[in-house]
Amino acid sequence: MTLNPDHKTDLIDHINDEHGDILLAIARVHLDPASQNARIIDLADDGCTLTNGSINRHIPYGIDGDDPEERLQYLAFTALAALGKPIFSGAQHYYTIRTTRTITPRILRLELASDTLPQVAAGDATCFRQKTLHKTKSARAARERANLAERLVNHLLLWWYRRHKPQKRSDIIEKFNKNLRYYTIAAITDGHLAVDIYLHGESPGSQWARSLKPGDIISAIGHYREHTEHLANGQTLLVADETAYPALAAILARWQNPTPPIILTLSHHAEEQAYFEDGTLPPGSRRIRSRYGDDLTTVLAGLPPINAAWGALEHETAKTIRHYLRHRDHLDGSHNRIKTYWKQ
């Protein structure tokens, strides 16, 4: 399957920016065991071209299919297995619910306590299990179960990938992830985490979040570190809808760029825009409030030249903004981090 140029660029930018550790594993298996960095420079139907800065090599995916991202995932799995590294990793961490309260009609804040906090920062996203515990759980037993599951996955996942058709492979991955959700850490104060969750109607994640009460115990594995280093200089554009308001707020809370940002906040419901108080924005910020369904290309056309962008929102809208900035402002992937948080 031949990718259109914008889709190919989106994939390459996403993988290079978000999955450097996986690319490094592939490079150490297929290029040089001493590789210190790795980036994809091209995607083709039968494989990818990877570079570590001194060696460029075309590497076959190893499985058939129409989805290059899935086939790259398989290539990464085989590389991690060859290096003896776990395919799924991350220590399980437990939190106790201290309080819950609504910030806006559809955004719920959880205040979490824990004996020890993981190495995370405000703005990072933590992967929570949508399961509630009501009594102390043995962390040792949980780790043993996680280690057993990890060993089973490492042995069986590659076999599954080789033997099943693409749709079946997608179903398998979906089952692994169905009870996991990433939520942004809005703040860390006095040894407590604040996590803000946008409630999507009666979705499983929303029902779980509404059900939580003080004293409940929840768990999380791993986290995603938000990339914002490209926002340090120049005129920036920040874009978020309700699902990403917490991440945007965390970015703004530690703003260091001397040039005030342009902030575009989207929402399905106007009252959700109250999440941001204008007094909390960096001095001189320009804020544009918009709703889904508005003509965003007209909004973007009225902006000055943009040097760097960050955003998180619905898939098709994110793609529209990302492509517009790529073509109008010539922003490459490292400076054009407008990403998908959810799909219709």
At residue 160, the pLDDT reads: 47
Q: Report the DSSP beta bridge partners of residue 99.
A: 111
Mean pLDDT, residues 170-184 taken together: 64
Most confident of 42-56, 136-150, 188-202: 42-56
pLDDT of residue 178: 61
Residues of the chain with CATH 3.40.50.80: 229-342
Percent of the chain with pLDDT over 70: 82
Q: Which of 72-81, 82-91, 167-176, 290-299 has the lowest mean pLDDT?
A: 167-176
Query: What's the chain's Rg over C-alpha atoms?
Result: 21
Does position 296 have pLDDT exceeding 90, yes or no? yes
User: What SS3 class is residue 284?
Assistant: coil
pLDDT tops 50 at residue 139: no
pLDDT at 86: 58
Burial (CB count within 10 angstroms: exposed 0-12, middle 13-18, buried 19+), residue 105: exposed
Which contiguous run of DSSP H or E holds residue 75?
A: helix 68-82
Largest CA distance in the chain: 57
Average pLDDT of span 303-320: 96
pTM of the model: 0.73
Nearest-angstrom CA–CA distance, 38 and 292: 37
Question: Could you tell me what percent of the chain has a pLDDT over 90?
Answer: 50
pLDDT band at 146 (very low <50, low <70, confident <90, very high): very low
Comparing CA positions, the residue from 104, 110, 139 lying closest to residue 212 is 110
Question: Which listed CATH number (2.40.30.10, 3.40.50.1820, 3.30.1330.30, 3.30.1360.10) goes with 90-225?
Answer: 2.40.30.10
Positive or negative, the Cα torsion across 325, 294, 338, 13? negative
Residue 155 has pLDDT above 60, yes or no: no
Is beta strand 47-51 parallel, antiparallel or unpaired with respect to 56-60?
A: antiparallel
Question: Mean pLDDT, to the nearest integer, of 182-206?
Answer: 87
| Rounded distance between C-alpha atoms, residue 97 and residue 174, angstroms | 28
How far apart are the C-alpha atoms of 220 and 94, rounded to whole Å? 7
Start-end of CATH 2.40.30.10 domains in the chain: 90-225
Q: What band does 85 get if pLDDT is binned at 50, 70 and 90? A: low
* Residue-by-residue DSSP string for 85-102: --SS---EEEEEEEEEEE
Q: How sure is the predictor about 137, in pLDDT bands with cuts at 50, 70 and 90?
A: very low
Residue 218: in which H helix or E strand, if any? Answer: strand 217-224
CATH level 2 (architecture), domain 5-82: Alpha-Beta Barrel (3.20)
Q: Are 264 and 290 in contact (CB under 8 A)?
A: yes
Tokens of 15: 């993988």
In which band, very low, low, confident or very high, does the pLDDT at 57 lie, cut at 50, 70 and 90?
very high
Lowest average pLDDT, out of 157-166, 181-190, 261-270, 297-306, goes to: 157-166
Q: Which pLDDT does position 14 carry in this prediction?
A: 85
Question: Taking a C-beta distance cutoff of 8 angstroms, is the pair 265, 338 a contact?
Answer: no
For 46, phi then psi, to 5°, come to -105, -5
Strands 92-104 and 217-224: antiparallel
Could you say which of 3.30.413.10, 3.40.50.80, 3.40.630.30, 1.10.510.10 is the CATH number of the domain covering 229-342?
3.40.50.80
pLDDT digits (tens, 9 = 90+) for 197-206: 999 888 888 9
* pLDDT reading at 265 higher than 50: yes
Considering the chain, tell me which residue range(s) the CATH 3.20.180.10 domain(s) occupy: 5-82
**What is the per-residue pLDDT for 173?**
46
